Amino acid sequence: MTNTPEVGVDEIGPHPDEPHERGFNDRMNWLRAGVLGANDGIVSTAGIVLGVAGATTDRTAILIAGVAGLVAGAMSMAAGEYVSVSTQRDSEEALLETERRELAEDPDEELAELADLYVRKGLDQDLALQVARQLTAEDALGAHAETELGIDPDDLTSPWNAAFASMLSFTLGALLPLLTIILVTEDLRVPVTVIAVTVALALTGWTSARLGYGPRGRAVARNVAGGLFAMAVTYLVGSALGTQV
């Protein structure tokens, strides 16, 4: 006979290592934008400065190209994130407005629909109806939005948070290859930049996997391999063009 362990009242609740607090969705959104922004800043700027370094040893030309790429990339990332997240938020708000109208116009039908969703999740009919009634009495819109739409009305994503996080992280990521290739001596600037970028990409790959609860080794390898390939291609293109100009 199998003994089922008893769970005390103090043990009931979310595990401390699992994210359950409100606001988590928005924080995850700008953290994701920040990590991706830093990664893009590192790769794109490294590609630009290494491509120019392959064509010329002129430090000023490398600096101008790198700064131009940094500014353009940061603005592009911020605008792209703002538009993308704003579109998502508009869709979520439209769905919530529809749900509000349906709750106001036909609450009984909405209650039956919510109970039916709980039945599909495994509750029996009576218990599902009881749960639906209690949750509707507490927060009708929240209960219906989370169960039917997968949306938390109090935790909608913020386009401004995503835009600023993406812009700032892209800038910080881009500064690494830019400063490295400018400050290091000419004979060492390319290998030192490649090493610095490789370490940074490994860190952003590990961080993105940790935030997404994915396999970290695979994420690091994928991130580093992609960055090295991009740098190699741009350096070879720059070298080829430099011999023709």
Beta strands of the chain (E only): which ranges? Answer: none
pLDDT at 158 over 90: no
Average pLDDT over every residue of 48-74: 91
> Percent helix, strand and coil across the chain, each rounded to 5?
80, 0, 20
Distance CA 16, CA 22 (A): 14
- Indicate the average pLDDT of the chain: 82
* pLDDT tens digit sequence for 102-150: 888 888 888 888 888 888 888 888 888 888 888 888 888 888 888 888 8
Per-domain residue ranges for the chain? 24-244
How many H-runs (helices) and E-runs (strands) does the chain carry? 7, 0
- Signed CA dihedral, 206, 210, 214, 216: sign only: positive
pTM, two decimal places? 0.72
**Contact (Cβ atoms closer than 8 angstroms) between residue 115 and residue 125:** yes
* pLDDT tens digit sequence for 90-100: 998 998 898 88
* pLDDT tens digit sequence for 23-37: 555 566 666 777 788
pLDDT of residue 71: 95
Distance CA 149, CA 147 (A): 6
pLDDT of residue 17: 47
* pLDDT tens digit sequence for 188-213: 988 999 999 999 999 988 887 887 77
In three state form, how does the secondary structure of 81-97 look? Answer: HHHHHHHHHHHHHHHHH
